Structure 1
Amino acid sequence: MTGFVLGSASPARLQVLRSAGLDPMVRVSHVDEDAVAAALPAGTAPEGVVCALARAKAEAVAAALIAENADVVADCVVVGCDSMLLVDGELQGKPLTPEVALRRWAVMAGRSADLLTGHCVLRVRQAQIVAEAADCTGTTVHFAAPAAAELDAYIATGEPLQVAGAFTLDGRGGWFVDRIDGDPSSVIGIGLPLVRRLLGDVGVAVTQLWVDGAQLRADAAR
């Protein structure tokens, strides 16, 4: 059976995949995102930036697995993702500090912005990368205008500090999103429709990767 490796530490991405019938191996890329973005040619489109970051993560994880001679590299797909919010033509990643999160919400509140998620799928067979597919999804997010006390309470939870755009759709941040136009799974961090297509591009049907519910429950309980 073809293995599925998620190159991300995001619990939200993992939960999306598990809910959709997959049982991914999780490996963190430890890619320096700022360095990758800085090395891109000037004028790279926002969609190109998130795809480059996703590719760098997938390649780093694949290289590490191959170097370790891990069993999975006999036949697996490695998926890397990167999400950023496009606001007024500027890409925004994780705010990391409460001050930055507050400044970003001051701009976002009551407005809409595009959440871009780059995806890269690498097919690995016999410890070699034999195919690659990458693309980006864009979903328009329409934000509410939280009261100052609500926003202070949200930022104090720490949730928005480690996520692209300083919000989540599937957590407390969902209270402050009026609606979205596009794929909700992509906003959470991994777009199922796009990943299905990219898997097909590298010769893997997503149905080959499904596992039964009992196995998923056992893995989630570990």
Structure 2
Amino acid sequence: MSGTARHPVNESPDRLGYLLRVRFVLASQSPARLAVLRAAGIDPSVVVSGVDEDAIAAALTDPTPAETVTALAMAKAEAVVETVRGTHSDAVIVACDSMLSIGGALVGKPGTPEVARARWAEMAGRSGELLTGHAIIRLDGGERSKETSGSHTTTVRFADPSPAELDAYIATGEPLVVAGSFTLDGMGGWFVEGIDGDPSSVIGISLPLTRKLLAEVGVSVVDLWRSPTS
């Protein structure tokens, strides 16, 4: 039963049968998001969307940073609907996208050491806003019944790493594949002075916002927690 919804005590048999079918599907390949969910009591199925994030962002017309990350999250959720429908007719598909707003620019994963180094030259000793967009699509009996989305913004205060520290950090490869060229829960955490906001959102998925969005599509997060015996 691991990863399926559980039911509270005294739940009706009909409701119990429904809850046991609902599957939490994470439309992301991020190990950090998966770790946050598992630590919070959920074992999701993982279906990677594989969308072209740059193309989607480029197609938006004068979006705000929050609109950008939310649109990217929804595109990821929509991209896996048919795949999920084939295996879980009753599911909540959850997708996220994170970007960093620094110096008036919205940036994602740097991809190369050169870009990561340039990003850190801009970030060091300053504050930036880490935005994470969230989207949820509800499948009920194989039909796309409800959907919702939102975003969370957290201020991140960066340290000023020495040239040797930055060289060592970039050499790990970690900052090349994460939004904003840093992590909070990995080696990048050494270079974060503090945050103002939700730490889980900085890691990649805001638990408080996800709980609220799940409620909007008719699912209580406590019903999705793994069984204590699983």
TM-score of the aligned structures, taking structure 1 as reference length: 0.93
Kept after mapping to 2: 8 A contact 1:21/1:213: no
Please show how residues 150-189 of structure 1 align to structure 2 within 5 Å. Answer: 150-189=165-204
User: Separation in 2 of the partners of 1:102 and 1:172?
Assistant: 15
| In the alignment, structure 1 residue 146 sits paired with structure 2 residue 161 | yes
Kept after mapping to 1: 8 A contact 2:53/2:72: yes
| In the alignment, structure 1 residue 53 sits paired with structure 2 residue 68 | no
Q: Which has the higher helix share?
A: 1
Q: For residue 118 of structure 1, give the secondary structure of its aligned residue in structure 2.
A: strand
Please show how residues 29-48 of structure 1 align to structure 2 within 5 Å. Answer: 29-41=49-61, 43-48=62-67
User: Separation in 2 of the partners of 1:148 and 1:128?
Assistant: 54
Kindly provide the amino acid, as one letter, of the partner of residue 153 in structure 1.
Answer: A
Paired residue total? 210
Kept after mapping to 1: 8 A contact 2:27/2:93: yes
Identity of matched residues, %: 60
| In the alignment, structure 1 residue 136 sits paired with structure 2 residue 155 | no
Kindly provide the amino acid, as one letter, of the partner of residue 100 in structure 1.
Answer: V
Deviation at 1:38, TM superposition (A): 1.1
Kindly provide the amino acid, as one letter, of the partner of residue 15 in structure 1.
Answer: A
Kindly provide the amino acid, as one letter, of the partner of residue 180 in structure 1.
Answer: I
Kept after mapping to 1: 8 A contact 2:112/2:176: yes
Kept after mapping to 1: 8 A contact 2:131/2:153: yes
User: Separation in 1 of the partners of 2:214 and 2:24?
Assistant: 10
Deviations 1:80-101 (A, max 9, x none): 1000000122110000000000
Q: Do the aligned partners of residues 15 and 213 (structure 1) sit closer, same or farther apart at CA in structure 2, a change above 3 Å counting?
A: farther
Kept after mapping to 2: 8 A contact 1:141/1:180: yes
The equivalent of 2:132 in structure 1 is 117
Unpaired runs of 5+ in structure 1? 216-222
- Larger radius of gyration, structure 1 or 2? 2
Deviation at 1:62, TM superposition (A): 1.3
Kept after mapping to 2: 8 A contact 1:140/1:182: yes
Kindly provide the amino acid, as one letter, of the partner of residue 55 in structure 2.
Answer: A
Deviation at 1:13, TM superposition (A): 0.3
The equivalent of 2:9 in structure 1 is none
User: Separation in 1 of the partners of 2:97 and 2:229?
Assistant: 30
User: Separation in 2 of the partners of 1:51 and 1:89?
Assistant: 18
Runs of 4+ in 1 over 3 A off after TM superposition: none
Q: For residue 145 of structure 2, give the secondary structure of its aligned residue in structure 1.
A: strand
Please show how residues 87-126 of structure 1 align to structure 2 within 5 Å. Answer: 87-126=102-141
Unpaired runs of 5+ in structure 2? 1-19
TM-score of the aligned structures, taking structure 2 as reference length: 0.90
Kept after mapping to 1: 8 A contact 2:33/2:203: yes
Deviations 1:88-123 (A, max 9, x none): 221100000000000000000000000000000111
User: Separation in 2 of the partners of 1:76 and 1:149?
Assistant: 47
User: Separation in 2 of the partners of 1:127 and 1:29?
Assistant: 19
Kindly provide the amino acid, as one letter, of the partner of residue 46 in structure 1.
Answer: P
Deviations 1:142-170 (A, max 9, x none): 00000000000000000000000000000
